[in-house]
């Protein structure tokens, strides 16, 4: 079964757009949390995560009829649940 | 009350099995919303009479993702645009596993797809090896979609037992130059013609909702009908970030349903498959309406770079609709 966007949101970066997940810049100063990624979360129902939620790097992604895997050069492989 | 074009279509398409002309298709695509249920119902009757009640189920997989040199403006796998899709090659064991999982859903078709202008020796070798391994382990028809082919490549694929080849027209000839500049419509048609000459089934699809006019949508349906493909996969634009069409609005669901009815009325005997973008454009309800409006094939599970509905959702829907899944036919 395909993981439909549950744990993928858990991390400092958005799995869909690769930007900081809570609207913070992660440079020491913070911006207020935003709802920028609500749409991303919805889209992640129909997309694999193209960005690593731990570091925001672009991942290698393979989709198959029944699932997907995504691989970050730093943080390794995530497989659909 | 029935709209005149639907009366004509009932006589011409349902009774005589003759597809609508381009001008007639424009009339279908312009039908008001209140005529849509009747159009879908007629398209469904056409499908039942000329194709039967079976639904053909297929799974697709990308063997080589991303980095394509072509510039199809809708495609996240083009290396020309700044898309988040990275290049990946799938290994053979994963491919065989995907074929097995696809067969387990009851699917009879497994399509191996590569994001390329056309296949090089490395890709063809990989495909040949994959076909052999799948054959050893899985009972399923194998189709390929590897871009534009030479005559020699067409013959090679046919000799390896590839029974169907996918090469889409995507859009109308008159709109094509606005969507693709790195190859021509004629080049696409050449590959399609060679595939048919070699005795493979031609799968030739459409991608609608790219900003084409209704007239161009009708033109596309008529151009596809003229090719007499075995199958037409119907895709709805899913705007991909970073591509030139990334900001295009998602197509209106009713327009998508009108297009489904029109494509069926243009091609009464063709396998008309739900392909990419339907989840976004039509949702669950629309998926059902399309299957009762001319569609007689589905891609189950995920697509090449995006996710689909869970396979079970579609398979259960077919049970609900009392539509049998097409069985594997052994013709050899
Ligand atoms: S040829 Fe195929 S993979 Fe390449 S850009 Fe066009 S649609 Fe995408
Ligand atoms: Zn986001
Ligand atoms: Zn990472």
- Distance (Å, whole) CA B314 – CA B256: 19
**Which pairs with CB-CB distance under 8 Å and at least 24 residues apart come from B246-250?**
B248/B209, B248/B210, B248/B211, B250/B209, B250/B280, B250/B281
Compute CA B182 distance to the chain's CA centroid, rounded to the nearest angstrom. 22
What's the confidence (pLDDT) of residue A21?
Answer: 85
- CB of B170 closer than 6 angstroms to any ligand 1 atom: no
What's the confidence (pLDDT) of residue B2?
Answer: 77
pLDDT at A9 over 60: no
Compute CA B15 distance to the chain's CA centroid, rounded to the nearest angstrom. 26
- Distances in Å between the Cα of A8 and the Cα atoms of A21, A49, A80, B280 are 11, 7, 9, 20
Query: Could you tell me if B195 and B202 are in contact, meaning their C-beta atoms sit under 8 angstroms apart?
Result: yes
CB contact under 8 A, A48 and B310: no
Nearest-by-Cβ selection for B302 from A18, A59, A64: A64
Task: Among B64, B72, B185, B304, say which to mutate for ligand 1: greatest number of ligand atoms within 8 Å of CB.
Answer: B72
What's the confidence (pLDDT) of residue B330?
Answer: 55
Determine the residue among A62, A69, A77 to mutate to test chain B binding: the one whose Cβ has the most chain B Cβ atoms within 10 Å: A62
The answer for B 283-312 residues in CB contact with A (under 8 A) is 300-308, 310-311
Strand order in A67-72's β-sheet? Answer: A60-64, A67-72, A76-79
pLDDT at A12 over 80: yes
CB contact under 8 A, B65 and A58: no
Nearest-by-Cβ selection for A65 from B61, B85, B241: B61
- CB of B25 closer than 6 angstroms to any ligand 1 atom: no
CB contact under 8 A, A62 and B102: no
CA-closest residue to ligand 1 atom 5: B78
What's the confidence (pLDDT) of residue A56?
Answer: 95
pLDDT at A8 over 80: no
Between these two residues, B208 and A7, which has the higher pLDDT value?
B208
What's the confidence (pLDDT) of residue A25?
Answer: 46
Query: Domains, chain B, ranges and CATH?
Result: 4-320 (3.20.20.70)
ipTM of the prediction:
0.91
Nearest-by-Cβ selection for B84 from A2, A4, A58: A58
Sequence length of chain A is 81
Write the pLDDT tens digit of every residue in A14-71.
Answer: 999 999 987 554 444 434 445 778 888 888 989 999 999 999 999 999 999 999 999 9
Strand partners, B145: B113
Low-confidence ranges of chain B (pLDDT < 50): 331-332
Helices (H), chain B: 4-9, 22-29, 36-50, 92-104, 121-137, 151-159, 176-179, 185-197, 214-227, 253-266, 278-291, 311-320
- CA nearest neighbour of B50 among B21, B4, B24, B12: B12
- CB of B75 closer than 6 angstroms to any ligand 1 atom: yes
What's the confidence (pLDDT) of residue B234?
Answer: 98
Please tell me if residue A55 touches chain B, with a CB cutoff of 8 Å: no
Compute CA B89 distance to the chain's CA centroid, rounded to the nearest angstrom. 23
CB contact under 8 A, A66 and B307: no
What's the confidence (pLDDT) of residue B130?
Answer: 97
CB contact under 8 A, A46 and B97: no
- Distances in Å between the Cα of A33 and the Cα atoms of A10, A65, B196 are 15, 36, 57
What's the confidence (pLDDT) of residue A23?
Answer: 58
CA-closest residue to ligand 1 atom 6: B72
Residue A2 pLDDT level (bands cut at 50, 70, 90): very low
């Amino acid at each position: 079964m395909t993981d439909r966007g549950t744990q993928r949101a858990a991390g400092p970066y958005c799995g869909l757009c690769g930007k900081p997940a809570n609207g913070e810049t992660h440079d020491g100063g913070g911006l207020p949390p935003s709802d920028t990624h609500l749409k991303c979360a919805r889209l992640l129902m129909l997309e694999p995560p193209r960005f690593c939620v731990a570091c925001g790097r672009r991942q290698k992604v393979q989709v198959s009829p029944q699932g997907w895997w995504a691989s970050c050069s730093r943080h390794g492989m995530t497989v659909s649940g | 009350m029935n709209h005149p074009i639907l009366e004509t279509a009932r006589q011409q398409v349902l009774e005589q099995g003759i597809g609508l002309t381009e001008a007639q298709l424009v009339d279908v695509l312009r039908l008001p919303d209140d005529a849509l249920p009747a159009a879908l119902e007629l398209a469904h009757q056409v499908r039942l009479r000329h194709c039967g009640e079976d639904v053909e189920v297929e799974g697709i997989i990308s063997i080589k993702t991303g980095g394509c040199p072509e510039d199809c403006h809708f495609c996240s796998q083009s290396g020309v645009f700044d898309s988040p899709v990275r290049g990946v090659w799938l290994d053979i064991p994963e491919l065989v596993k995907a074929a097995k999982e696809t067969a387990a859903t009851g699917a009879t078709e497994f399509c191996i797809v590569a994001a390329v202008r056309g296949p090089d020796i490395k890709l063809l070798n990989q495909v040949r090896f994959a076909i052999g391994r799948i054959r050893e382990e899985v009972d399923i028809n194998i189709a390929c979609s590897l871009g534009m082919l030479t005559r020699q490549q067409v013959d090679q694929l046919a000799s390896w037992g590839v029974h169907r080849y996918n090469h889409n027209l995507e859009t109308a000839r008159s709109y094509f130059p606005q969507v693709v500049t790195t190859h021509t419509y004629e080049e696409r048609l050449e590959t399609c013609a060679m595939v048919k000459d070699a005795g493979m089934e031609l799968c030739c699809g459409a991608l609608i909702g790219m900003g084409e006019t209704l007239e161009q949508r009708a033109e596309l349906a008529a151009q596809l009908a003229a090719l007499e493909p075995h199958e037409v996969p119907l895709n709805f634009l899913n705007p991909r970030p970073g591509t030139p069409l990334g900001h295009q609005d998602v197509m209106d669901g009713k327009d998508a349903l009108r297009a489904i009815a029109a494509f069926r009325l243009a091609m009464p005997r063709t396998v008309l498959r739900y392909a990419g973008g339907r989840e976004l454009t039509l949702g669950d309800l629309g998926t059902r309406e399309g299957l009762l409006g001319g569609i007689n094939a589905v891609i189950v599970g995920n697509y090449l770079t995006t996710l689909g509905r869970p396979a079970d959702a579609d398979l259960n829907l077919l049970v609900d609709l009392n539509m049998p899944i097409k069985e594997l036919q052994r013709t050899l």
